[in-house]
A and B are shown apart, each in its own frame.
Chain A
Amino acid sequence: MKLGLEIHQRLDTHKLFCNCPSEGGNGKPKSVLRTLHPVYSEMGEVDKTSLAEAEREQTFEYLFYENCCCLVELDEEPPHPLNPEALRIGLEMALQLKSRPVDEVHVMRKTVIDGSNTAGFQRTAVIAMGGKVESANGDVRVSTVAIEEESAGIVERKEGRAVYSLDRLGIPLVEIGTEPDIKSPEHLREIAEKLGLMLRATGKVMRGLGTIRQDVNVSVEGGARVEIKGAQDLKSLALIAENEARRQEALLAIMKEAGKRFGGKVGLGGKILDAGDLFRGTSSKLLKTGLDSGQKALGMKLEKHAGLLGKEISPNRRYGTELSDYAKTTGVKGIIHSDEEMKKYGIGAEEFANLCKLLKMEKGDAFVLVIAPESVAKKALEKALERARMDYIPKETRKANEDGTSSFMRPLAGRARLYPETDIPPVRIGRELLDEIRSGASESLEQKREKLLKLLNRDMAERMLRSRNLKIFERLVEMKIEPTLAAATLEDTLTMLRREGVEVGGEHVLALFEEYLKGSFVKAAIADLLRETAKGKSVEEALEEKQLRKISGTELRKIIKENSKSMAAIMAKYRLRVDSKEVAELIKSM
């Protein structure tokens, strides 16, 4: 199996082609309605992905929020020049990967007419090529580093209409694509994690849910390149790759079997017949509701496909599901095929038999059935037939499902999908800019790791390296806070408090340690104090209210006397207020 990885990471700066902040939408959105149609590229080709989308007649509803959307997201104003900050961050990452910047950046339009971009294309630009990710399991070559704009997020799909939210449209992403040098799901996970860490180590990327996405390209011997989008985390990424390899192997086996049955040629017919009359008075709720509302029940015979449609190719997904996925691109909810349990649709044995008769099925034949408005139903069956006729594994872009399997999204996009964005002049990358980036660059991942290893034990150093609190840790160390205490507070204490439901911000930690340096309280009181300051109290107030001010000197001597110089007794009562070292020293001196 050959695996390639594509990482998309959101950058911590304003949007790529306008000055809107990269933040979520607030308040009540307004909406506009749009349609999209395919166009020719500058090479005079039409992209097949676009044609596939165009087959589904759709209206797109775009929700826009005033705090983070302007006329650019609405495709009502030409894009502003490329955000120079985003380009710099992208170049910084490229340099870290030893990828070579291009001399001139050309922004391209990547046609996407599924509605996820108001313009009908996503703007994207290669900024560097080559380079590598080093790994114990084998280095992986980087093919390209690109910056591109985030697409709009899907909110809802209805019949003939898709609703998208424009808040995230235009947020800058850096995209790092590798060559198919990755050898196993485990290797994949390692490379993905390493790239993620490198990106975060710059401190210039966004963090949190949805800010990083990994797509994986999978192909097996005799199979095809399939790109799977939308893996939620590293664990599922490896599982998705594993499942895809298995799916391709299963499809190869099905193709072999089909080849035998057909004697080497696929001559599938595809007569579509109206089976509505067979289901008058049916007890199938699905069919009844559809027919009553004027929809048609159309059926089609698939010669010599009995048993094939029911073959499992991924966990809980059959070959029939593949046909169904293709049919769904026309807007239907799914198809029924003869390898399925008819009972689950409420279709009776007699209805089944009559349908087979109507479609003139012979032994070994299968059928597909669909309920939808006539024109849609017809297109759906044609799509299912198109897939059934493929005697090869199609190159596809697929969507990751939550269970680690994937579903067909669209054919893999070709180069006809890209044409120049003429609204943005090319941007030259000069030597001065690169020198400036090099001198202003944050430390690389390796430099950071080395530094942390000098301050912390290996385990804590690795944790800190992955932590979103890394920046605060660095600040605390600069303040001369003992590194182990700083790390333990940020990683352990904060986690403990979060589990209690107390969210502590970085500013609270910094304020508290400033006071700590003055000797106002002891380490043991940190958690209790943070619990209070997170609620908005000042450190001073928290110290007074919770009576956590450090006891030392004369007062401490008094306590030692009262407790007959017993360390254990003193610590039991005053653990949160006294420094054990000081107690020990005083006991000795008294």
Chain B
Amino acid sequence: MYSSKISAMLKKAGISIGDRVRVEKGGQTHEGILMPRAGESDELVIKLDSGYNIGISSAGATLSQLEKAPKKAEPAPEHYPRGEIAILGCGGTVLSKVEYKTGAAFPAFSPKDLFNAFPKLKHMASVHSKILFQLLSEDMHSRHWSVVAQEVANEIRDGAKGVIVMHGTDTLHYTSAALSFALANLPVPVVVMGAQRSSDRPSSDNESNILNSILVAKSDLAHVGVCMHANSNDDYAFFHLGTKVRKMHTSRRDAFRSINTMPLAKVDHRNGTVEPLMPYQRRDEKRKLDLQNHFSQNVGMLYSHPGIKPELVSKFADYDGLVLVGTGLGHVPTNAFNDKLANNLVPSLKSLIDSGIPVVMSSQTIYGRINMGVYTAGRILQDIGVIGNGADWTPETAFVKLSWVLGKEKKMEKVKELMMKNIAGEITPRSNYEETFIDF
């Protein structure tokens, strides 16, 4: 976006973006293509014949048109016949390219472009694709989850042997958890995947993530899961259970890790292997999918912090449910020892629960299990009805699960019962020992 001053100047001169122009300023002449630009600005961006872009301040510059931008023919829409694997696009880095509106990588590729971009994909499976949304993943919420679940269910009912959901990585693990709850009795694999490096760079991890995801989609693992890089190498990937996975790094390729469990499988497109690491549900195309895609749109989440005020808890009075991201084993300030300076959240939490708003505990430690029986604070919270004792879910999975449960049930007792019942692998019965649960 150019400033209104420049836009007016361009309009007057009949120059549009993409035209070949000459800019004269201070005795120097530059010729090149007038490029669009990010943000409101008075600098003209010119693509020189060398390919470099430079910014020239419009003050004192004279601009003239040399050539109109060549009109690009709209490519005819391509139709691909239904393939064995369905690819559903929800935007995100895996399907993005440069966008001048924001000057940043922006979702814009349609999945069909993938065939051109990754010729190897053609040899692995027949696929068809559909774009569901074009949005940044942080803009997704529970209404989108319902749509994605419905679309996946449609594909499966129409005979897809596996479904791949392409998604921005920021909230990918919320969607994978949502699909895990919504797609009960799943007959075939559903793979949620993305890329940490945008597809406009040759080093993007999209290629190996896509190829590995295709392998999973064709495999015997009838689960909803996330397929992403296992480490920094472009080689094998992990297929993580959809409810037990979390984005653990802002930028690394291997940001997605299984929490409190092992990945379901190790996947390597280079030799075509899917090696299960955990017991799994086998593919059974006769199994009848049970779609349960109603989610509450009114669940809140509160991250406990030192000095957190009771008034903040009270703000959730008009929510349907609240997930606490507590400290340690599952705590928030209860002032159990009557300290003069400490805050106490118990009265405001109790009043939420008493008014019928379920409150669910999760932990900031991410790893480990909630145990509200060890310290006084935990016991007080259990006593007033905070749900979650014994669960080893991530805060995000607890949030998605509460949204899903509240989409079916309103009664506190029923909500509590469903929350504490393992539905999609989100609550494991045993905490297995791993030598290093996390590096360093």
B28 at the interface (CB under 8 A from A): yes
Stretch at the interface among A96-104, A293-301, A333-341, A486-494: A96-104
Q: How far is the CB of B8 from chain A (nearest CB, A)?
A: 20
Would you give the shortest CB distance from A81 to chain B, in whole angstroms?
Answer: 14
Q: Which of the 9-residue segments A112-120, A252-260, A342-350 touches chain B?
A: A112-120
Partner of B55, one of A104, A146, A415, A422: A104
Taking Cβ atoms with an 8 Å cutoff, the residues of B that contact A are: 26, 28, 30, 37-38, 43, 45, 47-57, 72, 97-98, 103-105, 117-118, 197, 199-204, 207-208, 231-235, 250-253
Task: Tell which of A32, A38, A78, A418 touches B52, judged by Cβ atoms closer than 8 Å.
Answer: A418
Given A34-B233, A422-B103, A425-B103; A104-B97 close (CB under 8 Å): no
A residues bordering B, Cβ < 8 Å? 32-40, 42-44, 50, 59, 71, 74-78, 100, 102-106, 108-111, 113, 118-121, 124-126, 129-130, 144, 146, 414-420, 422-423, 425-426, 428
| Chain B hits for A428, CB < 8 A | 43, 55
Please give, as numbers and ranges, the residues of chain B lying within 8 Å of A102 by CB-CB distance. Answer: 54-56
Q: Which residue of B lies closest to A101 (CB)?
A: B54
Contact A126 B52 (CB under 8 A): yes
- In the complex the two chains form, is A420's CB within 8 Å of B201's CB? no
**Interface pair A419/B49, CB less than 8 Å apart:** no
Contacts of A110 in B (CB 8 A): 51
Which single member of A34, A78, A129 contacts B30 (CB below 8 Å)? A129
Contacts of B235 in A (CB 8 A): 33
B28, B52, B197: the one contacting A108 at CB < 8 Å is: B52
Q: A76-B251, A76-B253, A422-B105 given as contacts; is B202 within 8 A of A39 (CB)?
A: yes
CB neighbours of A32 from chain B (8 A): 231-233
Give chain B's interface secondary structure class: loop
Provide the bound-state CA to CA distance between A76 and B250, in Å: 9
Q: A34 to B234, Cβ gap below 8 A?
A: yes
Contact (Cβ within 8 A) A76 B252: yes
In the bound complex, CA of A9 to CA of B234 (Å): 33
CB pair B57–A104 under 8 Å, yes or no, is yes
Q: Is the CB of B43 within 8 A of A415?
A: no
Chain B residue nearest in CB terms to A104? B55
Considering the chains assembled together, what is the distance between the CA atoms of A144 and B57 in angstroms? 18
Do B202 and A50 touch across chains, with their CB atoms under 8 A apart? yes
Contacts of B98 in A (CB 8 A): 42, 419-420, 422
Q: How far does the Cβ of A185 sit from chain B's closest Cβ, in whole Å?
A: 25
Nearest A-chain residue to B199, judged by Cβ: A39
Known contacts A77-B251, A415-B50, A422-B200; 5 further A-B pairs (Cβ under 8 A): A37-B117, A40-B97, A120-B203, A415-B49, A420-B53
Residue on A nearest B48 in the bound complex, by CB: A126
Tell whether, in the assembled complex, residue A419 and residue B232 are in contact, meaning their CB atoms are under 8 Å apart: no
> What residue in chain B is nearest A130 (Cβ atoms)?
B28
By a CB distance below 8 angstroms, the chain A residues around B26 are 100
CA of A368 to CA of B261 in the docked complex: distance in angstroms? 58
Check B51 against A418 for contact (C-beta < 8 Å).
Answer: yes
Name the distance in Å between B74's Cβ and chain A's nearest Cβ. Answer: 13
Given the complex of chains A and B, what is the CA–CA distance between A43 and B47 in angstroms?
Answer: 10
Sort A-B residue pairs by CB-CB distance and give the 10 closest, nearest first.
A104-B55, A120-B202, A415-B51, A418-B51, A103-B57, A106-B53, A33-B233, A36-B202, A102-B54, A120-B203
Closest to B61 in A: A103
Q: Within 8 Å CB of B51, what residues of A?
A: 108, 110, 414-418
A71/B252 in contact, CB under 8 A: yes
CB pair A74 B232 closer than 8 Å: yes
* Contact A426/B251 with A42-B97, A100-B26 known, Cβ cut-off 8 Å: no
8 contacts between A and B (CB under 8 A): A32-B232, A33-B234, A33-B235, A77-B250, A104-B43, A119-B202, A415-B49, A416-B51
